[in-house]
Structure 1
Amino acid sequence: MTAGSPAPIVEAFRRGAWRTSLDTAPLPGRGESRFGLALVPEIVAASDRRWWDATGRHTPFAATTLAPGSRRELLLFALDLFEHGTVTVGGLGTQSAGAFHQALEEVGGVPRPLATRWTGMLRESLRSREVPRPDGALALVALPGNTFTCLESVLAQAERSTGVWVRPSRREPLAAARLIGAMLAAGWPPELIGFYPGEQRVLHGLIRLTDRQIVYGGAGLARSVRALDSLTLHGPGRGCALVPADLPVAEAVEWLLPLIAADSGRFCSNVRTVVCVDAPDGARQDPEPLATALAAALDAIHHPHTDVRDAWPFVAFREPGAVEMIQGVVRDRLRPGDRILTRRPPALVGGTYDVYARPQLALLDGHFTHPDAHPLIGHEVPFPFAAVLGAAPDAVKAITADSLFVYHPAKRGPA
């Protein structure tokens, strides 16, 4: 974009074509000239569902039931285009890979090393899944804004369903829009894919209008979504790591650091709680030595794009006040006696519109002997953060029961 030029509007894709909308919303980003996003009202989506039933589901692709293996070949080709090609995105025109990465960093704060890693994860996820037998459903995938790796659900539903509607996050819709463009360029029938940005309230309408739903969101969304047999809700992972008493501190830090800091702490599988487990004979494990060493290691990750290990770049926050807000929530959840052990300032300002949340680590006061919930246990934020505590076996069971990702050092992966 040049100074003074109108902000480009990322269009919706519906009824087989990119389309503008009277309803738009600005996207986060640098400077005054930002991208905008076309919004699809619920009444329009309802009309599109009627069109789908009458016309969309009867396209040649759907009628001939393209072999599952052929679908995968098309999707792998689309991922190659997504990563390296030039594709058409409604409202943005032809978009090269370089232009995509530039836009992704301007809007979502995602640096190219992370985008490259996440694209590789999408490809590996697609290749490793069993090829499903397609059915006649119209699926909805409602995406989060923390990472575009959740596009794996779009790919999975494209293989399984006759049609897929994608509702992107308004914090970062660019990766989803580019995947739509890549699928179209690869030869995916346009009638069988949709891109439906919308207000939060429209999500509930999209859920009602579709046959199968994959929805990503936090606890608040989980409480607001009506339970349906057809709906799969991906909520907080509340990742935790169990550190045995006989594991040397240096080894524990080496093991834990990537679990906390990788992918800018944005995955539901990142570790949020580090539990120093009592010894089998009942002797308590003091969590402070590990917490102190781990905080120092997190403090050493200091550059916004590449740290000293060239492994864990940070994602910038584009929304004004977002870093202060999420770090304020952490502070509000501290109880008397809890301490933040990381020493570096929690926010790093790399420029007028480049604000990064540095990793933080809290040492929780007291020894947890029963399932007494602490508000920081399992608390998820979109940056590297973990709480360290000592716990007896009963408390460990309560914590792990509430976690989707439990890590053990012997396994070096989630249970």
Structure 2
Amino acid sequence: MGADGAAPPTVEVLGPSGPYRTRTEQEITDVTGAVMAGMSQAPKIYVERAMRALHAARPLPDAERAAALSRAAGLFRSATLGGLTAQQYERAVTRVSGLPLGVVRTATRTCAERVAAAYRSVQEARPRGAVSDWRDPLVRTGQALWSRRGEVLAVHVPGNHPGTHGFWPEALALGYRVAVRPSRREPFTAHRLVLALRAAGFPDDHVVLLPCGHDAADAVVRGADLAYGGDEVIRRYADDPGVLSLRPGRSKILLTAGADWRDHVDLVVDSAVRHAGTGCVNVTGVLVEGDPAPLAGAVAERLAALPSLPPLDEKACLPVQSVKSARALERYVLDRARGTRAWLGGTGFVDELGDGSAVLRPAVHQLASADAPQLGAEVPFPCVWIAPWSRADGVAPLRDTLVLTAVTEDEELVDALVAEPTISNLYLGGRATHWHRAGLPHDGYLGEFLMRSKTTVRA
């Protein structure tokens, strides 16, 4: 049974000629193992035809794309789409993902805000010296022109959090046609967003939803000019310059000697727990100049007080998985944590709810040094690795980081952090790692990947 006791309709293929229901379906189950819905599986030949149709379509004019994205944001946030109200959609996502209902509600709002701002956001990525239309008068004397690197984008977005879908509509803002392969774990967000975009004015052959198996999923990538996402299909193409693979976040916090750790316990806890600790922007590692033990103890005490509740409970704040998945993750983390000092979760962190699901409770481990391998571990629940850091360690332990919050007054250190190319985002002072607003780059601007500048002149 689906959300609110009603079985959701099958998640259909949304092809270039409209919805398409196949005989082959995949069961969508919630975290207790209960079947909630079926998802049609597009065969490879259908996918190949759909990709050709996207190539044949021509982009809408700029103003129409901007207006359609604005309308789609409102529809995604509040309309009944695919037979589900916004509330039913949020409960369905909660049940299959195990994210707390409050987190999913926030994600609905955030995703809608990103879609509404998509057209404006892509303009922020355009080089200041480039124009977006060859008809611009500046082209008559020679000008850089911002142009697409292709026409069709394949999107394979993971199902760990609905917010991951807030970025790919920027491709539509730039005139791309988009093929989305939804996550097998949580297909409802992709389905709802494609329906909203179509209802808002994007033709069916401009944005399609192609749930499919691995063989057909490869055809989605091969049939596109560029591809973007983070699932196993995308990772197989990681060396292809036409494929942008989402990286693990490994977000971190650095507290240097001038920062009193007592003033930043809230910062660490909030960075770990927001989004139920499942996001790439949640803090993974905390480095402290000095003894990390007092901070580790304080953070563990705060995290230990969080309740274990089913995801649909209004007070839930921790993620839930099936018992089988939770136990497998527990074994992985405990094995990875050998040799560390466990402040929380050292003997296990799975709290079974008795219905086939289990809460992933927080874990806090203290490391012996800033180069400990555990500092790079990222898992989908609040799990924090806290290590000592010294000036001799330098920037090396802070590399490969999506978001680094640095609480320091050392401008020379800040210069080094800004210069480090593998730190994608740098927050100075007490700013939580999950902070973001529309129009700012997440892991660079998506437009940097989708577009290029070419010199253009009209005689």
Q: TM-score if structure 1 supplies the norm length?
A: 0.83
Provide the rounded CA distance (Å) in 2 between the counterparts of 1:192 and 1:175: 18
The amino acid across from 1:106 in the alignment is: R
Match of 2:422 in 1: none
Provide the rounded CA distance (Å) in 1 between the counterparts of 2:339 and 2:34: 43
Q: 2:41 aligns with which of 28, 39, 42?
A: 39
The Cα of 1:294 is off from its aligned counterpart by 0.6
Task: Give the 5 Å matches for 1:203-282.
Answer: 203-217=217-231, 224-277=236-289
Match of 1:289 in 2: 294
Task: Give the 5 Å matches for 1:164-179.
Answer: 164-179=178-193
The superposition leaves residues 182-236 of structure 1 with CA deviations (integer Å, 9 ceiling, x where unpaired) of 122222211211101123454333211101211124xx76752242222211110
Figure out how many residues of one structure are paired with residues of the other and give that number: 384
CA contact (8 A) 1:40 1:197 kept: yes
CA contact (8 A) 2:194 2:207 kept: yes
The superposition leaves residues 303-341 of structure 1 with CA deviations (integer Å, 9 ceiling, x where unpaired) of 4379xxx99723322x45111111211111123243243
The Cα of 1:358 is off from its aligned counterpart by 1.1
Match of 2:429 in 1: 411
Provide the rounded CA distance (Å) in 2 between the counterparts of 1:344 and 1:73: 54
CA contact (8 A) 2:307 2:317 kept: no
Match of 1:66 in 2: 61
Q: 1:21 to 1:166 in 2, by over 3 A?
A: same
Q: 2:364 aligns with which of 357, 361, 379?
A: 361
Higher RCO structure, 1 or 2 (CA under 8 Å, sep 6+): 2
The amino acid across from 2:243 in the alignment is: L
Q: 1:232 to 1:49 in 2, by over 3 A?
A: same
Provide the rounded CA distance (Å) in 2 between the counterparts of 1:361 and 1:200: 37
The Cα of 1:171 is off from its aligned counterpart by 0.6
CA contact (8 A) 1:57 1:162 kept: no
Q: 2:304 aligns with which of 299, 306, 313?
A: 299
Q: 1:337 to 1:235 in 2, by over 3 A?
A: closer
Q: 1:248 to 1:276 in 2, by over 3 A?
A: same
Q: 1:350 to 1:298 in 2, by over 3 A?
A: same
RMSD: 2.9
Provide the rounded CA distance (Å) in 1 between the counterparts of 2:403 and 2:336: 22
The amino acid across from 1:146 in the alignment is: N
**What secondary structure sits across from 1:387 in the alignment?**
strand
CA contact (8 A) 2:152 2:224 kept: yes
Q: 1:11 to 1:292 in 2, by over 3 A?
A: same
Task: Give the 5 Å matches for 1:127-206.
Answer: 127=117, 129-131=121-123, 135=148, 137-206=151-220
The amino acid across from 2:386 in the alignment is: V
Provide the rounded CA distance (Å) in 2 between the counterparts of 1:305 and 1:313: 9
Q: 1:395 aligns with which of 388, 393, 396?
A: 393
Provide the rounded CA distance (Å) in 1 between the counterparts of 2:102 and 2:19: 30
Q: 1:344 to 1:245 in 2, by over 3 A?
A: farther
- Identical amino acids, percent of aligned pairs: 23
Moved over 6 A (4+): 2-7
**What secondary structure sits across from 1:393 in the alignment?**
coil
The amino acid across from 2:430 in the alignment is: R
The Cα of 1:139 is off from its aligned counterpart by 0.9
The Cα of 1:349 is off from its aligned counterpart by 3.2
**What secondary structure sits across from 2:205 in the alignment?**
helix
The amino acid across from 1:98 in the alignment is: Q
**What secondary structure sits across from 1:27 in the alignment?**
strand
Which deviates more from structure 2 when the two are superposed, residues 137-146 or residues 297-306? 297-306
**What secondary structure sits across from 1:395 in the alignment?**
coil
The amino acid across from 2:257 in the alignment is: A
Provide the rounded CA distance (Å) in 2 between the counterparts of 1:45 and 1:139: 14
**What secondary structure sits across from 1:78 in the alignment?**
helix
The superposition leaves residues 335-368 of structure 1 with CA deviations (integer Å, 9 ceiling, x where unpaired) of 324324358961233451442211111112x234
Q: TM-score if structure 2 supplies the norm length?
A: 0.76
CA contact (8 A) 1:240 1:406 kept: yes
The amino acid across from 1:36 in the alignment is: G
Provide the rounded CA distance (Å) in 1 between the counterparts of 2:302 and 2:327: 23
